[in-house]
């Protein structure tokens, strides 16, 4: 796909999803970090069901640092993996002990925290701190490569190619356009190509035909 076509596809996505934003409910960086850790391989809707009670009981990183895994895990069990509860507590202990109780705002520091990988760090940087960042989750990886915006075998390479293509000030929004498109139209198992506004530009659609 030429650069001009890629830019056209991105402009179309912007037009299709002007209201795209994070679907996780949060009100500060601590809540965003906890919700994003819980959202791995779980729906945002399910995370949003459990987090109000979690944030009421553990309102900040210092409170969470005192939590016991056997108390937290039953509250977040429906989001899967026992390790999520352990990681949240361990991350908050590090935040309390090494960052004065405040979630750090750099990639380097965030990725030191247990359970926080590059994708989670990018989500927190953009959504909680407004710092330009392009997070590649399963939807962004799949949709970007299907359309032909990038040609990458890994999430790291997808991030590299996409951040070269997209102007920095649009990284965060572009991440949300691609997620929304992946959840609503370009689904993993059955992409609804006939209803897709991008089919005139999409590499995958052209290949299928």
> What residues act catalytically?
119, 137
Q: Is 176 in the site for ligand SF4 (CB under 6 A)?
A: no
Structure tokens at 126: 């953009």
Nearer to ligand SF4, 6 or 93 (CB): 6
Using CA atoms, how far residue 209 sits from 75, 140, 150, 182, 202, in Å, is: 48, 23, 20, 20, 11
| Smallest gap from residue 173 Cβ to ligand SF4 (A) | 18
Verify binding: residue 202, ligand SF4, rule CB under 6 A: yes
What is the number of alpha carbons within 13 Å of residue 101 lying toward its C-beta?
7
Compare residues 85 and 198 and give the one whose CB is closer to ligand SF4: 198
Q: How far is CA 126 from the centre of its chain?
A: 10
Per rule CB under 6 A, count of chain residues that contact ligand SF4: 13
Which of these segments, 21-29, 78-86, 98-106, 197-205, binds ligand SF4 (CB under 6 A)? 197-205
Query: For residues 112-151, which are near ligand SF4 according to CB under 6 A?
Result: 146-147
Residue nearer to ligand SF4 on the CB measure, 58 or 205: 205
Establish if 159 lies at the interface with ligand SF4 (CB under 6 A): no
Q: Which two tokens stand for residue 166?
A: 């997209």
Is residue 185 near ligand SF4 by the rule CB under 6 A? Answer: yes
- Asked if residue 6 lies in contact with residue 208, where contact means CB atoms within 8 angstroms, the answer is no
Contact (CB, 8 A) for 12 and 41: no
Place of tokens 């005139």: 200
């Amino acid at each position: 796909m030429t650069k001009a076509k890629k830019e056209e596809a991105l402009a179309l996505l912007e037009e299709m999803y002007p209201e795209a934003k994070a679907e996780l409910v949060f009100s500060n960086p601590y809540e965003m970090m906890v919700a994003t850790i819980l959202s791995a391989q779980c729906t945002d809707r399910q995370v949003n069901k459990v987090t109000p009670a979690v944030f009421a009981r553990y309102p900040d990183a210092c409170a969470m640092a005192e939590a016991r895994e056997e108390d937290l895990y039953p509250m977040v069990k429906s989001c899967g993996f026992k390790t999520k509860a352990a990681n949240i507590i361990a991350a908050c202990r590090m935040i309390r002990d090494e960052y004065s109780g405040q979630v750090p705002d750099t990639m380097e520091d965030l990725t030191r925290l247990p359970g926080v990988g590059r994708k989670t760090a990018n989500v927190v940087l953009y959504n909680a701190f407004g710092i330009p960042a392009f997070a590649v989750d399963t939807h962004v990886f799949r949709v970007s490569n299907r359309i032909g915006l990038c040609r990458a075998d890994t999430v790291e390479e997808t991030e590299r190619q996409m951040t070269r293509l997209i102007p920095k000030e649009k990284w965060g929004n572009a991440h949300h356009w691609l997620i929304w498109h992946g959840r609503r139209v370009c689904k993993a198992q059955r992409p609804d190509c006939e209803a897709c506004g991008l089919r005139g530009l999409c590499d995958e659609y052209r290949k299928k035909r």
